[in-house]
Amino acid sequence: MAVGRPRVGAALGAALLARLGLVLYGLHQDGAMRVRYTDVDYRVFTDAARLVTEGRSPYRRATYRYTPLLAWLLTPNVYLAEVFGKLLFVAGDLAAAVVAYRVLRRRGAADGQACGCCAAAWLLNPLPMAVSSRGNAEALVALLVLATLYFVEGGSVGKAAVCYGLAVHMKIYPLTYALPIALHLQSKCCGGEGAVDTGCDKKAKFTFVGYLWQLFVKMLNRDVLLFGTVAGSVLAALTVAFYHLYGWDFLEHAYLYHLTRRDIRHNFSPYFYMLYLTAESKWSFALGLAAFLPQLLLLLVVSIAFYRDLAFCCFLHTAIFVSFNKVCTSQYFVWYLCLLPLVMPSVKMSWCRGVLLLFLWFVGQGLWLAPAYFLEFKGYSTFLLIWLAGLLFLFINSLIIVQIISHYQKEAQVAKKLKQQ
């Protein structure tokens, strides 16, 4: 570790300077230009925090769809300076990189490799820089998710469960990690061999239903029950406390809204145009729920196929969830980008192929942004073009996911490290 600290410190220092520079530039642009640098949600956060300091509900601020905990954390925006929240998010951004580095080291990656992966995929990536410096809270969720993986792979099930409960409370999407985490914990209790190879009924081995049944039975062990109990208790305690303070508004805006949300504004989702055209239809709600089915099926398959490597499984989970979600904006990409450093050492892909896939990913966004610009700023009706560009972007994302899976090779050193723990 002594050799690696200067490298990590240099990367963190450069990342910090870049983010602070963007924060300062944002203050200038907000005051000098019509188009603000600061994310519109940051103003919503600050208004909600102001309501909290006045003893009122943060949900009196229209469009506040988050946990009250976030409004509480940002009360220094009111008492100290409005820029406090951005600095908090930048700190969470950098802390997430430190945790990702430690996860990589725990998984057996060399110091230089771990530092390089974190720098390339996160610290020096312009997208996470922009998201945190514009005042978006995604970095805090990324930190909690990475901390969960760090503690799970280190065998600290209780600490992992606390972080996981907080992550689900902050954002709903980490709830999809429940199945792979449970499968991973049961496989560790079975000596890393998985459920099928541990003396179960031989006839059941030849049926898919039997295989699923074996997985379910093996999940009922001490670590899984401990993780579920602690994480459930943390989530339940926060839910009960905030429900007592803010009533039904809290449940509706922090949880239920995100499950039934049907955003008809233009976004990267392949479903946006369908939901836009059927907004007034009696089938609108049903179509919104049906959009979850492809996600659920793909997440189930990925969970069963890759649960032994939890970091890789969670990365695929998040990439699939974001790509096939009913609502998809650029800040959602941070959800899986924070996990990218953890899987980079296991993806044996040539630089040419990797650069080509990255190029396609940016091209897909550019082709979407062009008609979106003419719709939002010029008033042209480009909904169809936006939808077609969204379908192309979905195809590109699916291609990238398939390429990552096909070039995935779980390193022997990772397996050896995990078996020693």
Per-residue confidence (pLDDT) for residue 208, from 0 to 100: 60
Cα 131 from Cα 141, distance rounded (Å): 13
CA distance readout (Å), 10 to 100, 103, 119: 16, 19, 10
What's the pTM value of the predicted model, to 2 decimals?
0.88
Per-residue confidence (pLDDT) for residue 356, from 0 to 100: 95
* 54 DSSP 8-state letter: T
Amino acid at 129: M
- Are 312 and 343 contacting, i.e. CB atoms less than 8 angstroms apart? yes
Residues of the chain with pLDDT under 50: 1-3, 192-205, 412-419, 421
**Residues 6+ positions from 188 with CB-CB distance below 8 Å:** 223, 418
Per-residue confidence (pLDDT) for residue 261, from 0 to 100: 64
**SS3 (DSSP) at 135:** coil
Task: Give per-residue pLDDT as tens, 90-145.
Answer: 999 999 999 999 999 998 888 889 999 999 999 999 999 999 999 999 999 999 99
* 347 DSSP 8-state letter: B
Q: What's the distance, CA 40 to chain centroid? A: 20
What is the token pair recorded at 30?
Answer: 């907000």
For 82, half-sphere exposure in the C-beta direction (CA atoms, 13 angstrom radius) is: 14
Closest Cα to residue 133, out of 181, 183, 83? 83
Cα 212 from Cα 196, distance rounded (Å): 9
Element (H, E) at 190: none
Angle between helices 292-306 and 178-189 (to 10 degrees): 20
Residues belonging to the chain: 421
Task: Give per-residue pLDDT as tens, 137-183.
Answer: 999 999 999 999 999 998 899 999 999 999 999 999 999 999 999 99
CA distance readout (Å), 265 to 4, 5, 416: 46, 46, 48
Q: What's the distance, CA 195 to chain centroid? A: 28
Q: Is 42 exposed, middle or buried (0-12, 13-18, 19+ CB in 10 A)?
A: buried
**SS3 (DSSP) at 408:** strand
